[in-house]
């Protein structure tokens, strides 16, 4: 296959997992991987220049403005505006360039705050997302509207996927705005370095979440490029409920921390169960097979290897 593939957001977390998958399948010479240093995709002229230069047949559009709940709360307009423009610019350019396929991910935070677990795709648009990150999540959700609209008007074959709570190498480990898995890995790793006798966690540890290894998500992308011609969305996750307490114990083990884990039960637990329904994904013959133990081990090893280099561009 000699299709030209354009991967945006290639320097980010999922992009770094996906680039080698695309290069292995389609040939490194056929994959153009860009990040914001090469093209600012907020600028439509730069988007057009990129499409003119690469002439892609396939676009995997990861470029997004993402951050933790703190940043989302403080700068909701920036999250809304930038993600809206990044989505609109690339869908429109892809349609005008008549690409054969556009693959676009959005997040599970776009589901309604009151969604019932296991959350299946039909619950999207059935309620307002968690308000703290609604600027980001509603802008990303417009990917579904864009996919349907551009398919109808321009025949653009765009597909939206919804990866669950991803974790893995290259994740954002910065204490200010990291997600639960990298935040915990870093805490236990540092507790081990500092010989801390205990690590205190918030809540009871009873809430359940499902986690998906980013490498597994990346490996599904060729399927969506080659074999899925609907707008979606399709959840991509492990579908396995893991109590936060079990997550903490496993992470302590893989990070080599042998001290005590204390639970401050006076602190709130948040939503008790939030897991994704993966029936649609399974029916397509897809799976996310990396066990939590194995995925966490790889992620903790990656942090240990890169910890000393934090500050050199890694989000550590
Ligand atoms: N992480 C998750 O758990 C998760 C879950 C579901 C869906 N998603 C979606 O998956 C995609 C990838 O997520 P991620 O976690 O890999 O995000 P990420 O690490 O923040 O990477 C985002 C990438 O977008 C690029 N970017 C931002 N603004 C840009 C601009 N103006 N022009 C060009 N490139 C720009 C960044 O480039 P620079 O670094 O060079 O600035 C970065 O490489 C996103 O669309 C996200 O919404 C993520």
Ordered domains of the chain (ranges, CATH): 5-166+211-236 (3.40.50.720), 169-209+240-273+291-309 (3.90.25.10)
DSSP β-bridge partners for residue 7 = 33, 60
Per-residue tokens: 8: 């945006």
Cα Rg of the chain, angstroms = 19
Measured in angstroms, how far is the CA atom of residue 105 from the centroid of ligand 1? 10
Angle, CA of 313, 75 and 69, to the nearest 5°: 70
Q: pTM to 2 decimals? A: 0.96
Task: Report CA(284)–ligand 1 centroid distance (Å).
Answer: 26
For ligand 1, the distance from its centroid to the CA atom of residue 104, given in whole angstroms, is: 11
Instruction: For the chain, 316 residues long, give each residue's pLDDT as a single digit of tens.
Output: 589 999 999 999 999 999 999 999 999 999 999 999 989 999 999 999 999 999 999 999 999 999 888 889 899 999 999 999 999 999 999 999 999 999 999 999 999 999 999 999 999 999 999 999 999 999 999 999 999 999 999 999 999 999 999 999 999 998 888 889 999 999 999 999 999 999 999 999 999 999 999 999 999 999 999 999 999 999 999 989 999 999 999 999 999 999 999 999 998 888 899 999 999 999 999 999 999 999 999 999 999 999 886 654 456 6
Binding site membership of 62 for ligand 1 (Cβ less than 6 Å): yes
Instruction: Establish whether 257 is a catalytic residue.
Output: no
Would the CB of 104 count as within 6 Å of ligand 1?
no
- State the DSSP H helix or E strand holding residue 33, giving kind and residue range, or none if neither: strand 31-34
Q: How far apart are CA 238 and CA 189, in angstroms?
A: 25
């Amino acid at each position: 296959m000699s299709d030209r593939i354009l991967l945006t957001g290639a320097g980010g977390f999922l992009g770094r997992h996906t680039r080698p998958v695309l290069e292995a399948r389609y040939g490194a010479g056929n994959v153009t991987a860009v990040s914001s240093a090469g093209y600012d995709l907020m600028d439509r002229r730069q988007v057009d220049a990129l499409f003119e230069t690469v002439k892609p047949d396939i676009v995997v559009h990861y470029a997004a403005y993402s951050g933790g709940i703190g940043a989302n709360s403080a700068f909701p307009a920036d999250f809304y505006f930038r993600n809206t423009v990044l989505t609109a610019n690339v869908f429109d350019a892809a349609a005008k360039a008549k690409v054969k396929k556009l693959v676009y991910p959005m997040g599970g935070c776009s589901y309604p705050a009151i969604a019932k677990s296991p959350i299946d795709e039909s619950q999207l648009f059935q309620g307002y997302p968690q308000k703290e990150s609604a600027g980001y999540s509603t802008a990303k959700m417009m990917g579904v509207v864009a996919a349907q609209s551009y398919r109808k008007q321009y025949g653009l074959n765009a597909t939206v996927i919804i990866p669950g709570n991803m974790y893995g190498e290259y994740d954002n480990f910065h204490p200010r705005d990291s997600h639960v898995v990298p935040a915990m890995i870093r805490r236990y790793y540092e507790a081990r370095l500092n010989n801390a006798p205990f690590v205190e966690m918030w809540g009871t540890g009873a809430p359940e979440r499902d986690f998906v290894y980013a490498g597994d998500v990346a490996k599904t992308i060729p399927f969506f490029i080659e074999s899925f011609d609907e707008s979606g969305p399709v959840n991509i996750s492990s579908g396995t409920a893991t109590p936060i307490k079990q997550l903490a114990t496993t992470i302590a083990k893989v990070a080599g921390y042998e001290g005590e884990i204390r639970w401050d039960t006076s602190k709130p637990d948040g939503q008790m169960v939030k897991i994704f329904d993966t029936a649609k994904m399974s029916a397509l013959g897809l799976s996310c097979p990396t066990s939590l133990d194995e995925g966490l081990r790889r992620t903790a090893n990656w942090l240990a290897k890169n910890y000393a280099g934090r500050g050199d561009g890694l989000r550590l």
